[in-house]
């Protein structure tokens, strides 16, 4: 385990809504996602992906956003709270966007998720707060697009997760593969 972080908030929604309410705890279910969340399941649940091919494996069972993004967006004038951007877990202390594909995050005493890729920001962000989509996109020194709207993961081992739980990072064997949108 290389670094440690903290779960700031946990969220779920039984319906497909942009934001998810904060709850006391969530139960992660192996191969399924967040129990009681509209995006849980072995196959895709995101509406646009279901329309394209409903048999695709669900690589987006759990959505994680770093609280540091909320801090950055607040400094830019956006009022945001955990769950507002549709995440299941808000974290602090881990550079989520810098993790390689396949990183395992140990959440609380039991749960383990494997990082599958980046969340691709969508125009719904601007419907929620005008200008927000541009605020979660950036460019690196070479002009490559940087997606800052969080990461996606699948549940390898289930368990309850609550605010205040520790997060331990287990990097995959090298060579490390960068995150791509999923």
- For the chain, list the domains and their CATH numbers: 3-170 (2.40.33.20)
What is the sign, positive or negative, of the torsion defined by CA atoms of 127, 131, 135, 137?
Answer: positive
Question: What is the predicted pLDDT for the residue at 52?
Answer: 82
Q: In angstroms, how far apart are the furthest CA atoms of the chain?
A: 42
Return mean pLDDT, the chain.
94
1, pLDDT greater than 70: no
Asked if pLDDT for residue 49 goes beyond 80, the answer is no
Question: Which pLDDT belongs to residue 2?
Answer: 56
CA–CA distances in Å: residue 146 to residues 44, 46, 149: 24, 22, 9
CB 65 within 8 A of CB 7: no
**pLDDT score for 78:** 96
Per-residue pLDDT, 90: 98
């Amino acid at each position: 385990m290389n670094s440690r972080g903290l779960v700031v908030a946990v969220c779920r929604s039984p319906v497909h809504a942009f934001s998810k309410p904060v709850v006391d705890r969530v139960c992660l279910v192996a191969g399924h996602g967040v129990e009681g969340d509209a995006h849980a399941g072995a196959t895709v649940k995101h509406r646009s992906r279901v329309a394209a091919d409903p048999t695709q494996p669900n690589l987006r069972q759990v959505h994680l956003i770093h609280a540091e993004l909320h801090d950055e967006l607040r400094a830019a004038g956006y009022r945001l709270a955990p769950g507002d951007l549709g995440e299941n877990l808000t974290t602090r202390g881990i550079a989520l966007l810098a993790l390689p594909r396949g990183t395992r995050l140990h959440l609380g005493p039991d749960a383990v998720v494997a990082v599958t890729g980046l969340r691709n920001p969508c125009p719904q962000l601007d419907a929620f707060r005008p200008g927000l989509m541009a605020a979660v996109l950036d460019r690196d020194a070479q002009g490559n697009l940087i997606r800052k709207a969080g990461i996606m993961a699948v549940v390898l081992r289930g368990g309850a997760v609550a605010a205040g739980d520790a997060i331990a990072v287990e990097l995959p064997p090298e060579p490390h593969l960068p995150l791509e949108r999923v």
